[in-house]
Amino acid sequence: MTPLRRFAIVLLVLSLVLLAGACSGGDDDLAGVGDTIIKLSEVEALYEEDQPIDDGFRDTLFAKIALEALTQALASEFGATVDPAAVEEYFTQFQSSLAQSGVSPAELLGVENASLELVHFNAEVVALRDAALELLVVAPATVDRLFTDPLTMTRVCAKHILVETLEEAQAVQARLAAGEDFATVAGEVSLDTQSEGGDLGCTLAGDYVAEFAQAAAEAPLGEVTGPVESEFGFHLILVSERTTPTRIEYLANPSAVLSSAQATVIWGDWISAVLEAADIWVAEEYGTWTLDGIQAPGAETTTTTTTGG
């Protein structure tokens, strides 16, 4: 998993996984994003003790650079800033978790030598994510993309029975056609032991694997559909409800429509676009900036560096 993808996922789940960071000696200019300079002391402040300059340090610096680039993009693209009160609210929540659990910042975050400043950094990250997503999910380009494929906006309430072979699926289909209860049969034979009676609840069709998604989006309501083959085996699917919002309905309450998976994609795509366009540099003695992370000095660069935007 590349540092960029790690950074995108970490921001959605509220925990920034950073490895070892800064080192000794002065307050060097480590990197720049546009006119903003990132200093060595800013990285050192994230830890209780000095850390060697290693891959972990470069991952930490990458995260600092990414957060600054996203903050600048939020302002330039949307004319928005992160509400300091939102940052402090998250910071207070994290501090409360520290007090209630009786653990250190390092234990809370799973980062060796983490300081309370790293907890605050996480609060900045989460508040930025909230502010950006609120605007991204209603941006015309995002809405156009979402509504291009009906599967991404169609919510289905479905049950399924998953078996290994076509012959097993046909045998199950015969039992259901003879009047046996779907949930009872699912409990007896389905390979999916996570869903009770095969009930998958209600979710966006696009969150399923392609074959299942297409079948769930087209299945007659209240009728068993299949067998449908996917990478997991053969499914018999029973859809009880299916809805697709209009654009007006979606824009009125995007959070009621979007799944966490879709939000992750929207957020991650924006991060990638921002970092690709950003004017970023890293001091030569600390490494070379690339979209996949900061390469150590002397290491072979495997991806194209940004040229500014």
Options 3.90.1750, 1.10.3470, 2.40.50, 1.10.4030; CATH of 3-143+255-295:
1.10.4030
Q: How far apart are CA 297 and CA 86, in angstroms?
A: 38
* Segment holding 31, helix H or strand E: strand 29-33
Task: Determine how many CB atoms are found less than 10 A away from the CB of residue 194.
Answer: 6
> What would the pLDDT profile of 113-163 be if each residue is shown by its tens digit?
888 999 999 999 999 999 999 999 999 999 999 999 888 889 999 999 999
Maximal CA-CA distance, the chain:
79
Which residues of the chain register pLDDT less than 50? 1-25, 303-309
Q: What is the pLDDT of residue 17?
A: 33
Tally helices (H) and strands (E) across the chain: 12, 9
Residue 171's SS3 state is helix
Number of residues that this document lists for the chain:
309
> 26-46 burial by CB neighbour count: b if 16+ within 10 A, else e?
eebebbbbeeeebbbebbbbb
Residue 245's closest CA among 92, 137, 167? 137
> What would the pLDDT profile of 233-253 be if each residue is shown by its tens digit?
999 999 999 999 999 999 999
Residues paired with residue 159 on neighbouring β-strands, in sequence order: 199, 238
Task: Map out the domains of the chain as residue ranges.
Answer: 3-143+255-295, 154-243
Q: In degrees, to the nearest 5, what angle opens at C-alpha 124 toward C-alphas 41 and 138?
A: 140
Instruction: Please give the CATH number for the structural domain made up of 154-243.
Output: 3.10.50.40
Distances (CA, A) of 256 to 128, 144, 217, 250, 252: 21, 18, 19, 8, 9
Comparing 3-143+255-295 with 154-243, is the CATH topology the same? no
Residue 119's closest CA among 274, 292, 127, 57? 127
Residue 47 token pair: 């830890």
